[in-house]
């Protein structure tokens, strides 16, 4: 797709004319002379955007000034992007960085801590996710810019974008403040200076990774690296640790045998890798046996490995057992691949191995008399909690078979009801792969980076400690039966059928003379999310120390990004949520101990925050000291209310050592409220006769006031009872809609099945967006996630269809339901 | 009644007529391009020379070398550090494809290839052996079929080696017009990483040297009634292969003090004792299996049919040598059947074909190679003999 040129600025044009005067002899086709600066447009965008190589107009809403601006905490990596849009060929570009200097201070931020990466593009020819994303060249692999220069890849063809991914690695002891510097980019001898502004917050991201993960790294890296050594696998695992993800096996399965010596070698290897606190766990290998003609795990080998891990723990004083997990391909997705018959055997053999090792523990501990009984007890607890992780959703059958740690797909955590199934698990795990597809979070190439990053946010909110992804290094293509060779390890987007990007997050580094792999933008998003998980971990601990929990405020800020496990957000909203997270954590960790105890919305656009602050500190809002706080424990609680019709930001803060530490947060956009009186003409027949009238709410339910729209649905046989809901306000539902709220009153004493469908102009198929039972009385129904719909194809919303039956097999008598009101919240 | 093997060799001679001083132009040779020598790989850059390299069996490491003392042609060569998977004791193998869509070349038609030559520098200060040959089929990244395997003893320093393309042998199990690559296989170095002590080589200048005469491309497999493999006929030796340390050969049973269950010759397999604990296999080629009555047998005929063979376990312990059945279409084993062999005697194996069909109903339309499995759990070499693979029809 051709790139539309922007009108060059006058300043750039003048500079270009000056440059041309000094350029010397003009020769046609010579980029050295006659090159005009406006031939490259510089602009920035969020790290969460994927700027395709050949697209331009579609990024109008996320195109920002030509600067590098990042807000980061101490001890974290944080990134942004600078895009070069070339309107003429660029034969080569070079990047030069300066150290950044602290504004108003002497500290510097070393340029060595700034990574600049040339984004490599991978062709996506089919958009399997059907999420409205275009086909085209997607940025993914990140090549250090100096390597791009060395290998001659630092060029840009006319009509194309070239992204620079810029990552700040903030040292844990970097002084807080605003740092300024310059990035010089020379395109064919034309130099452009880009301002660099880094804000370092006085907040440390934990250097220990508290979440768990299993990202297998022993598939095919050797094919792309031409290196199958343990050194290369170590390089992959060590790089993964820097990205806050842990491997499954720490050695390739064909590198070791069942000998004692090899077992010790494996455990020693895992121990060494675990000394990096950013690596959280490792997988004890499974060996295959057969029992009653059913394939299962070798329980004797598992016992030996567990004993070896325990012994290493006793020897070193490091609880390796607490870092161990167990999963086996023997029962990977057993419900999908017809392997359920193996499950009870594997569970039995696993439990037998654990029991044997528990029995062996005391004898092992006696070999290390210097070990204290508390540590031995800790090891015992770790072993009792050692999980057998089974990649499937929870079923009664599997529970009967002995499964305790289910690892369902991420969409099984979408609803509160579904999440409850896993409440009794000591560790909660989930995974994503080919499915689920957007709007559920995942790592596909055509999905957004917000999606990849939000997985860790969801893990924190839903108390899911473990994230399983089947492979980071599929450097081959699965044809349905076998893996086949590929010729270009930087292309072939669908290496697993119908899933772009599934199975690989790295790219080979050896072709570039590197001893480690290239990371991808998706991996960067994963790390960013994992670091935000640590911020939530910190926030939760700070709140807990003050006697509060973060459930409410966490949902409040996360609602900008996702609902359930479905992502619907913009980069602007995402960073709004991230900024809120940072600010809340900072506030909670000040001596003022500021905590948001409650954040409620009455679903009519009235938002109220209840904020706690320790005695001795004033809580300010919009610069004014709040009065009339209610005494609570060692402090006071203040209420701050906002009417979204008038105001969209909430602001509060405290002064610590003369500096204001504040929380300034966009709560949401405007609301549109349609009362019953407004809606009475909005309902028409669909599959049954319909009578519509306006009634007094108190006549239906004495606790209600105002008016209701009575919908009397005629009797049907062989059909549903459903009505169309068309109102002008519905046409305003778009990708900018945060959520809708529909209140329906069920006058009976029984549940009424309810389904809400949406009919879009550009689709002949109705989309079901809500299925629920209407309880007796008033039901407040919320639907969000509109930002994740395929609006490119849907175009606009024509109407909603309300169904009040769930089956056409039996006849339905006439019934009356009542609609109270309808509210639309904008982002 | 036995029929002798009939090898059909098609000799084709290119003829050209030259008329001096005449207005007629000589007829163009349609195979002229195929007769041109090909520099398959000179290892001058990562792409395409190394990029297309196919690692197998935990090869080790391959990199570009620019030290001129290890370059025989051009500016660079490939440095090979063959290791193999330490646990599995596999033989490190790398092959270089003869065709590429990305880089747009196709040298897979070996009809006119006389031999493949390559230069290899043995940088180990002592003699080393290696094997090289041709890849006839690529089933997956982990499974290839090899033909024309030849062993080379490399002296320290430069060696120029040639892989003779024996078309008559190649035609037995492969399509000479569709050779997928040239492979190089080394000994396992028993090391997880490249060190000063692990072997290293420098490879350069792989040439496909052509001849004027076109090689024969047809081979007809002829079998006795209901035979699968009786090893009486020479060609069947090429139908059996083992990618693991072993000896596989057809011998006269009497020379080993045995009486062959059928005829005079038997298949002798010596498994080298690596003791990795892994299950490994040798295979009987699907080309042979598909030439037997199994291929296309009707279900009616299969009702009382059995696959049978004999095994002589020349060790002191009982051994299970399971036979796996595979599909030709994807090379996947779908059924593993026990073959428990008592020591120092012939053991008969039989398996009812209808039981195979229960696991894979399409087996008779798509029979693949037979895999004879063994557990590599011995430190000493073990010797076995096999004979009389056949189909028995019973009442």
Q: Which of A151, A234, A254 to probe the B interface (max B CBs under 10 A)?
A: A254
pLDDT tens digits, one per residue of A285-321: 999 999 998 999 999 999 999 999 999 999 999 999 9
**Contact assignment for B141 to A220 by CB distance below 8 Å:** yes
Listed range (A138-147, A457-466, B329-338) with the worst mean pLDDT = B329-338
Contacts of A262 in chain B (CB under 8 A): 87
Q: In which band, very low, low, confident or very high, does the pLDDT at A369 lie, cut at 50, 70 and 90?
A: very high
Asked if residue A10 has pLDDT above 70, the reply is no
Q: What percent helix, strand, coil does chain B show, rounded to 5?
A: 10, 40, 45
Contacts of B76 in chain A (CB under 8 A): none
Considering only CB atoms, A229 lies closest to which of B60, B87, B276, namely B60
User: What separation in angstroms does the CA of A752 have from each of A609, A773, A813?
Assistant: 34, 6, 12
Considering only CB atoms, B101 lies closest to which of A481, A483, A487, namely A487
Q: Which of A176, A204, A232 is the last residue of a domain?
A: A204
**Contact assignment for B277 to A228 by CB distance below 8 Å:** no
Domain-located, residue A600:
yes
Considering only CB atoms, A484 lies closest to which of B62, B140, B276, namely B140
Give chain B's domains with CATH numbers: 33-210 (2.60.120.260), 227-393 (2.60.120.260)
Are A96 and A198 in the same domain? yes
Residue A259 distance to chain B (closest CA, Å) = 9
What mean pLDDT do residues A231-256 have? 97
pLDDT tens digits, one per residue of A560-581: 899 899 998 889 999 999 999 9
Are A95 and A111 in the same domain? yes
Contacts of A147 in chain B (CB under 8 A): none
Q: Which of B45, B49, B64, B87 to probe the A interface (max A CBs under 10 A)?
A: B87
Asked if residue A24 has pLDDT above 60, the reply is no
Predicted local distance difference test score (pLDDT) of residue B24: 57
**Contact assignment for B87 to A254 by CB distance below 8 Å:** yes
For β-strands B246-252 and A671-675, DSSP reports them as unpaired
Asked if residue A380 has pLDDT above 60, the reply is yes
Contacts of A227 in chain B (CB under 8 A): 60-62
Per-residue burial over A265-276, b = 16 or more CB atoms within 10 Å of its CB, e = otherwise: bbbebbbebbeb
Predicted local distance difference test score (pLDDT) of residue B18: 42
What mean pLDDT do residues A27-34 have? 38
Predicted local distance difference test score (pLDDT) of residue B26: 62
From first to last of the 395 residues of chain B, give the pLDDT tens digit: 333 434 444 444 444 444 444 445 666 888 888 889 999 999 999 999 999 999 999 999 999 999 999 999 999 999 999 999 999 999 999 999 999 999 999 999 999 999 999 999 999 999 999 999 999 999 999 999 999 999 999 999 999 999 999 888 888 888 999 999 999 999 999 999 999 999 999 999 999 999 998 987 778 888 999 999 999 998 898 889 888 888 999 999 999 999 999 999 999 999 988 888 888 999 999 999 999 999 999 999 999 999 999 999 999 999 999 999 999 988 889 999 999 999 999 999 999 999 999 999 999 999 999 999 999 989 899 999 999 999 999 98
What is the percent of chain A with per-residue pLDDT over 90, rounded to a whole number?
Answer: 87
Are A708 and A664 in the same domain? no
Considering only CB atoms, A230 lies closest to which of B138, B193, B330, namely B193
Are A162 and A39 in the same domain? yes
Domain-located, residue A146:
yes
Are A33 and A181 in the same domain? yes
Domain-located, residue A785:
yes
What mean pLDDT do residues A202-227 have? 97
Cα–Cα distance for residue pair B233/B2, rounded to 1 Å: 10
Helix (H, G, I), strand (E, B) or coil at B213: coil
Q: pTM of this prediction?
A: 0.88
Cα–Cα distance for residue pair B382/B376, rounded to 1 Å: 10
Are A96 and A193 in the same domain? yes
What mean pLDDT do residues A773-788 have? 90
The answer to whether B91 faces chain A, any CB pair under 8 Å, is: no
Considering only CA atoms, which of B77, B76, B83 is closest in space to residue B55? B83
| Ordered DSSP codes for A342-364 | GHHHHHHHHHHHHHHHHHHHHHH
Alpha helices in A110-199 (DSSP H): 145-150
Predicted local distance difference test score (pLDDT) of residue B347: 97
Are A19 and A152 in the same domain? yes
Count the neighbouring beta carbons within 10 Å of the beta carbon of residue B124. 14
**CATH classification at residue A760:** 2.60.120.260
Cα–Cα distance for residue pair B185/A141, rounded to 1 Å: 33
For β-strands B246-252 and B240-242, DSSP reports them as unpaired
Geometric angle at alpha carbon B340, from B339 and B343, rounded to 5°:
130
Are A701 and A664 in the same domain? no
Predicted local distance difference test score (pLDDT) of residue B25: 60
**Contact assignment for A481 to B330 by CB distance below 8 Å:** yes
Q: Which of A227, A479, A486, A503 to probe the B interface (max B CBs under 10 A)?
A: A227
Contacts of B138 in chain A (CB under 8 A): 484-485
Are A77 and A191 in the same domain? yes
Considering only CA atoms, which of A447, A422, A441, A407 is closest in space to residue A213? A407
Q: Which of A204, A225, A243 is the last residue of a domain?
A: A204
Predicted local distance difference test score (pLDDT) of residue A27: 34
Domain-located, residue A306:
no
Instruction: Give A729 or A278, the one with higher predicted confidence.
Output: A278
pLDDT tens digits, one per residue of B151-170: 999 999 999 999 999 888 88
The answer to whether B58 faces chain A, any CB pair under 8 Å, is: yes
Q: Which of A204, A229, A258 is the last residue of a domain?
A: A204
CB A735 within 8 A of CB A786: yes
Domain of A651, in residue numbers: 533-668
Instruction: Give A619 or B168, the one with higher predicted confidence.
Output: A619
Contacts of B184 in chain A (CB under 8 A): none
Are A664 and A691 in the same domain? no
Predicted local distance difference test score (pLDDT) of residue A14: 42
**Cα of A816 vs its chain's centroid, Å:** 43
Asked if residue A7 has pLDDT above 50, the reply is no
**Cα of B189 vs its chain's centroid, Å:** 22
DSSP label at residue A507:
B
Task: Please give the helix or strand (H or E) that residue B169 lies within, else none.
Answer: helix B167-173
Domain-located, residue A764:
yes
Domain total of chain A = 3
Considering only CB atoms, B55 lies closest to which of A228, A254, A256, namely A228
User: Could you tell me which residues come within 8 angstroms of residue A347 by beta carbon, excluding any fewer than 6 positions away?
Assistant: A388, A401, A402, A403
Asked if residue A551 has pLDDT above 50, the reply is yes
**Contact assignment for A476 to B141 by CB distance below 8 Å:** yes
CB B387 within 8 A of CB B230: yes
Residues of A with CB under 8 A from a CB of B: 220, 222-223, 226-232, 252-259, 262, 476, 481-485, 487-489, 510-511
Domain-located, residue A217:
no
Cα–Cα distance for residue pair A119/A519, rounded to 1 Å: 10
Domain-located, residue A328:
no
Instruction: Give B24 or A2, the one with higher predicted confidence.
Output: B24
Name, of A1-5, A205-209, A761-765, the range with top average pLDDT: A205-209
Predicted local distance difference test score (pLDDT) of residue A662: 95
Are A175 and A192 in the same domain? yes
What is the percent of chain A with per-residue pLDDT over 70, rounded to a whole number?
Answer: 96
Are A786 and A743 in the same domain? yes
Asked if residue A756 has pLDDT above 80, the reply is yes
CB A484 within 8 A of CB A204: no
Contacts of B276 in chain A (CB under 8 A): 257
Domain-located, residue A782:
yes
Predicted local distance difference test score (pLDDT) of residue A779: 96
């Amino acid at each position: 797709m051709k790139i539309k040129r922007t009108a060059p600025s006058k300043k750039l044009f003048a500079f270009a004319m000056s440059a041309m005067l000094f350029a010397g002899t003009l020769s046609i086709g010579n980029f050295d002379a006659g090159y005009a600066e406006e031939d490259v447009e510089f602009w920035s965008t969020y790290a969460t955007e994927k700027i395709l190589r050949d697209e331009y107009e579609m990024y109008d809403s996320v195109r920002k000034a030509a600067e590098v601006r990042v807000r980061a905490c101490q001890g974290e990596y944080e990134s942004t992007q600078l895009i070069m849009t070339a309107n003429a060929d660029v034969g080569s570009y070079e990047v030069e960085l300066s150290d950044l200097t602290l504004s108003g201070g002497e500290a510097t931020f070393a340029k060595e801590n700034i990574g600049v990466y040339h984004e490599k593009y991978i062709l996506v020819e089919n958009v399997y996710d059907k999420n409205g994303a275009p086909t085209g060249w997607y940025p993914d692999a990140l090549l250090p810019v100096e390597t791009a220069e060395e290998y001659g890849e630092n060029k840009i063809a006319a009509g194309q974008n070239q992204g620079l991914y810029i990552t700040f690695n903030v040292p844990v002891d970097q002084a807080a403040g605003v740092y300024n510097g310059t990035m010089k980019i020379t395109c064919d001898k034309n130099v452009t200076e880009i301002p660099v502004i880094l804000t370092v917050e006085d907040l440390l991201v934990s250097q220990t990774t508290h979440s768990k993960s299993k990202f297998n790294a022993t598939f095919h890296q050797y094919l792309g690296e031409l290196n199958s050594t343990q050194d290369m696998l170590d390089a992959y695992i060590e790089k993964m640790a820097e990205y806050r993800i842990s491997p499954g096996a720490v050695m390739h399965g064909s590198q070791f045998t069942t000998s004692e010596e090899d077992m010790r070698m494996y455990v020693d290897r895992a121990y060494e890798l675990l000394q990096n606190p950013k690596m959280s766990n490792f997988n004890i290998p499974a060996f295959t046996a057969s029992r009653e003609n059913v394939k299962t795990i070798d329980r004797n080998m598992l016992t030996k490995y567990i004993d070896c891990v325990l012994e290493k723990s006793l020897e070193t004083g490091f609880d390796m057992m607490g870092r161990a997990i167990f999963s086996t391909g023997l029962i990977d997705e057993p419900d999908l691949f017809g392997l359920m018959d193996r499950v009870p055997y594997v569970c039995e053999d696993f439990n037998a191995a654990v029991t044997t090792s528990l029995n062996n523990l005391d004898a092992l501990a006696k070999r290390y008399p210097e070990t204290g009984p508390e540590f031995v007890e800790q090891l015992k607890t770790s072993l009792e909690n050692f999980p057998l992780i089974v990649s499937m959703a929870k079923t009664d059958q599997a529970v009967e078979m002995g499964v305790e740690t289910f690892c369902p797909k991420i969409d099984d955590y979408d609803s509160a009801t579904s999440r409850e199934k896993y409440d009794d698990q000591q560790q909660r795990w989930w995974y994503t792969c080919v499915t689920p597809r957007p709007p559920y979070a995942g790592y596909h190439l055509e999905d957004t980076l917000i999606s990849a990053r939000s997985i860790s946010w969801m893990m924190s909110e839903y108390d899911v400690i473990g994230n399983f992804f089947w492979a980071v290094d599929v450097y081959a293509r699965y044809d349905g039966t076998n893996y086949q060779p590929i010729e270009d390890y930087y292309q072939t987007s669908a290496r697993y059928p119908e899933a772009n990007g599934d199975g690989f997050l790295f790219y080979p580094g050896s072709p570039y003379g590197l001893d480690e792999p290239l990371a991808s933008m998706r991996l960067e998003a994963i790390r960013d999310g994992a670091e935000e998980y640590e911020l939530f971990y910190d926030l939760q601990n700070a709140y807990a120390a003050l006697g509060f929990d973060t459930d409410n405020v966490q949902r409040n800020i996360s609602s900008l990004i996702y609902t359930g496990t479905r992502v619907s957000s913009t980069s602007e909203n995402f960073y709004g949520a991230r900024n809120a997270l940072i600010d809340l954590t900072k506030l909670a960790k000040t001596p003022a101990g500021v905590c948001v105890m409650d954040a409620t919305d009455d679903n009519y656009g009235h938002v109220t925050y209840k904020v706690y602050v320790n005695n001795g500190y004033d809580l300010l809002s919009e610069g004014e000291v709040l009065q009339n706080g209610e005494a609570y424990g060692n402090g006071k609680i203040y209420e701050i209310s906002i009417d979204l019709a008038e105001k969209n930001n909430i602001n509060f803060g405290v002064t610590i050592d003369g500096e204001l530490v504040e929380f300034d947060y966009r709560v949401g956009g405007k609301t549109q409220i349609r009362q019953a009186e407004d809606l009475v003409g909005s309902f028409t027949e669909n599959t049954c006769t319909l009578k519509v009238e306006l009634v007094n709410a108190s006549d239906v339910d004495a606790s209600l006031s105002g008016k209701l729209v009575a919908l009397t649905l005629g009797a049907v046989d062989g059909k549903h009872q459903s009505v169309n809901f068309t109102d002008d306000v519905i046409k305003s539902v778009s990708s900018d809609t945060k959520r809708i709220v529909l209140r329906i009153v069920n006058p009976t004493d029984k549940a009424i099945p309810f389904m809400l469908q949406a009919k879009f102009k550009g689709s002949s198929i109705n989309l079901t967006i809500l299925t629920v039972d209407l309880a007796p009385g008033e039901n407040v129904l919320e639907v969000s996630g509109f930002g994740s719909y395929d609006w490119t194809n849907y175009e606009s919303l024509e109407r909603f269809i309300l169904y009040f039956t769930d089956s056409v097999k039996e006849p339905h008598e006439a019934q009356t339901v009542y609609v109270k009101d309808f509210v639309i919240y904008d982002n | 009644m036995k029929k002798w093997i009939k090898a059909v060799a098609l000799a084709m001679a290119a003829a050209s007529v030259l008329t001096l001083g005449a207005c007629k132009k000589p007829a163009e040779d349609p195979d002229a391009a195929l007769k041109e020598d090909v520099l398959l790989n000179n290892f001058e850059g990562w792409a395409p020379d190394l990029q297309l390299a196919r690692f197998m069996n935990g090869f080790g490491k391959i990199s570009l070398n620019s030290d001129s003392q290890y370059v025989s042609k051009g500016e660079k060569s490939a440095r090979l550090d063959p290791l193999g998977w330490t646990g599995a004791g596999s033989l490190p193998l790398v092959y270089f494809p003869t065709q590429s869509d990305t880089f747009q070349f196709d040298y897979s038609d070996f009809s006119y290839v006389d031999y493949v030559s390559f230069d290899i520098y043995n940088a180990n200060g002592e003699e080393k052996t290696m094997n090289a040959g041709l890849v006839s089929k690529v089933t997956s990244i982990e499974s290839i079929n090899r033909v024309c395997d030849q062993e080379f003893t490399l002296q320290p320093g430069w060696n120029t080696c040639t892989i003779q393309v024996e078309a008559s042998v190649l035609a037995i199990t492969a399509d000479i017009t569709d050779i997928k690559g040239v492979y190089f296989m080394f000994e396992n170095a028993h090391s997880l990483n490249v060190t000063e002590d692990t072997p290293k080589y420098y490879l350069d200048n792989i040439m496909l040297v052509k001849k004027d005469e076109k090689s024969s491309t047809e081979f007809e497999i002829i079998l006795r009634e209901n035979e699968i493999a009786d090893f009486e006929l020479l060609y069947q030796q090429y139908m059996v292969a083992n990618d693991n340390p072993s000896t596989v050969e057809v011998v006269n049973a009497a020379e080993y003090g045995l009486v062959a269950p059928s005829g005079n010759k038997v298949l002798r397999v010596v498994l080298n004792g690596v003791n990795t604990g892994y299950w490994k296999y040798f295979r009987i080629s699907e080309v042979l299996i598909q030439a037997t009555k199994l291929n296309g047998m009707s279900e009616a005929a299969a009702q009382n049919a059995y696959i049978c063979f004999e095994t002589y376990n020349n060790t002191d312990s009982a051994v299970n040598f399971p036979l796996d059945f595979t599909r030709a279409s994807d090379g996947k084993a779908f059924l593993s059947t026990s073959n428990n062999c008592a020591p120092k005697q012939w053991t008969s194996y039989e398996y009812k074909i209808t039981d195979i069909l229960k696991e894979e109903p399409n087996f008779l339309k798509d029979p693949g190679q037979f895999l004879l499995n063994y557990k590599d759990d011995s430190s000493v070499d073990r010797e076995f003999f096999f004979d009389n693979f056949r189909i028995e029809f019973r009442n």
